[in-house]
Amino acid sequence: MGLFVVLAVAWRLTSLARSRANEKGLRRAGAVEVGAGASLALTLAHVAIYLGAIGEAIARGFWLDGVAAVGLALYGFGAAMLALVIRDLGRVWTVKVFIAPDHVLVRTWLFRTFRHPNYILAILPELVGLCLALHAVVTLICGLPLYAALLWIRIRLEEAAMRERFPAY
């Protein structure tokens, strides 16, 4: 399970590096960030869930059972979905919300079928999967409702920005 933790953290750091590179390009192109405070709060909550889950796993020890296997599968699903979201959004994918002057509405199958695939299919399964894989029950019970509340705020801000930019959204 230690290998899982290393790979999960590496995956998150890799996606963060991609996000930062995209953010720089978007800023150079005149993109405007929406909901910076919400993005910061979500980032801090995301890190707290990772640290909490890893801390619980260190305190209790690692073991592989049915719950951990479901967690690993759920985490893997979330990571795969995140890879698809990053591919579909391309240069506009970041962990923050930016609206670029030349922003176009993404109409791939994933985005036509699911309203917010990044959140619903990638991030939530990632975090639940991480907690289950590491048997981090306290982190899951305490962290997920807080994260969900922050995510709801973020989605509302993003929706408003998208409706302003794309009236048909």
In terms of Cα–Cα distance, which of 75, 92, 121 is closest to 19? 92
Q: Strand ranges (DSSP E) for the chain?
A: 32-34, 97-99
Domain that holds residue 78: 2-165
Q: What is the CATH number of the domain that holds 6?
A: 1.20.120.1630
Mean pLDDT of 10-18: 97
* pLDDT tens digits along 107-163: 999 999 999 999 999 999 999 999 999 999 999 999 999 999 999 999 999 999 999
Judged by DSSP in three states, 111 sits in helix
Report the predicted TM-score, pTM, of the whole model to 2 decimal places.
Answer: 0.93
Are the C-beta atoms of residues 144 and 78 closer than 8 Å to each other? no
Domains of the chain: total: 1
Token representation of residue 33: 């960030």
